Amino acid sequence: MAISRFPEDRGLNARMGMTMFFLGLLYVVFVAVLFVVIKSAVFVLVIAGGLLFAQYFFSDKIALFSMGAKEVSPEQAPELHALVERLCVMADMPKPRVAIADTDVPNAFATGRTPEAAVVAVTKGIMRRLEPQELEAVLAHELSHVAHRDVAVMTIASFLGLVAGLLTRVLFYSGMYGGGFGRDERDGNSGAPVMVIMLVSALVYVISFLLTRALSRYRELSADRSGAILTGAPSSLASALVKISGDMGKIPTRDLRRAETVNALAFAPAISRGFSLSSMFDTHPSLQQRLDQLAKIEADLGRSG
């Protein structure tokens, strides 16, 4: 349940709960296979625990570093802080820290494990392009993520895929360069355990990847809906979406690729030219789907008014 005046989204809560349940079940099976195949998986658990700790407690710092964003004070960005503070008063929630990324990629994102430890970041590109009411709508979208705690859920949900993907790569390169993981020179089938772990890790990675992508798309629609209802201006959010999506194609490829590292957290995906995983397994719903939802909310608010 949200700890604010943002409307509760039971669909989001249910999806987050189901995703965490299935990923938890997948994690138990994954660890069990590791123990059965290699007998001792202590080092795997230590690495996994360390990664989870780092990702959960330092996710905000990692995301800010990835985008080159720096925290700013009210004196450094008074208008931005005023917008965030106004929205937090409207939503009855703690004011998060505020950061600005020095990039022309028009975007915004929220990160942090709790509302008290959250950070809302915007880029100079989005501040330059949007009108104040449009930027306010985008910030309301990001604050909805914080209020519903889906940033923390996405951080934990992506952890299993991270571990599985890392383990697959380690074992692949270990075998490629003659590594001795699980090797017994007296056993002619010494490579079998490694192959089993690689296959299971790859399968776990694919399943967790698809689950988190499905959750990510829904959470964006939920944040659009909650932010639009809080501000009462769905058209401002729609206008911001159209502007940002249209300007993405004008951004240099190198800048888009850098921004892709926080696609799952961003207001709009940074799609680089050419092939990318985001073009196959989107972290966000389509622009048209988001605009259609906002148009429906606009009509509903008009009827209720």
In this predicted model, what pLDDT tens digit does every residue of 131-147 receive, in sequence order? 999 999 999 999 999 99
CA proximity to 13, closest of 226, 175, 210: 226
pTM: 0.73
- Condensed to tens digits (0 to 9), the pLDDT of residues 236-282 reads 999 999 998 876 656 555 555 555 555 556 777 665 444 444 444 67
Asked if residue 24 has pLDDT above 60, the reply is yes
At 98, phi and psi to the nearest 5?
-125, 135
Q: pLDDT higher for 150 or 101?
A: 101
> For 55-69, 79-93, 154-168, which range has the lowest pLDDT when averaged over its residues?
154-168
Helical segments of 97-191, H only:
124-129, 132-147, 150-176
Q: Would you place residue 22 in the very low, low, confident or very high pLDDT band (cuts 50, 70, 90)? A: confident
CA proximity to 119, closest of 140, 92, 146: 146
> How far are the Cα atoms of 131, 217, 230 from residue 92, in angstroms, in the given order?
24, 26, 11
Give catalytic residue positions: 142
Type of residue numbered 70: K
Maximum Cα–Cα distance for the chain, whole Å?
Answer: 79
Cα separation, 114 vs 202, whole angstroms: 31
> For 69-73, 107-111, 158-162, which range has the lowest pLDDT when averaged over its residues?
158-162
Q: What is the pLDDT of residue 181?
A: 47
Residue 67, token pair as written in the block: 């985008």
Residue 280: how many CA atoms within 13 Å on its side-chain side?
A: 6
DSSP string, 109-128: EEE-SSGGG-EEEEEHHHHH
Residue 98, token pair as written in the block: 């505020």
Cα separation, 143 vs 91, whole angstroms: 9
Counts for the chain of helices (H) and strands (E), in that order = 12, 4
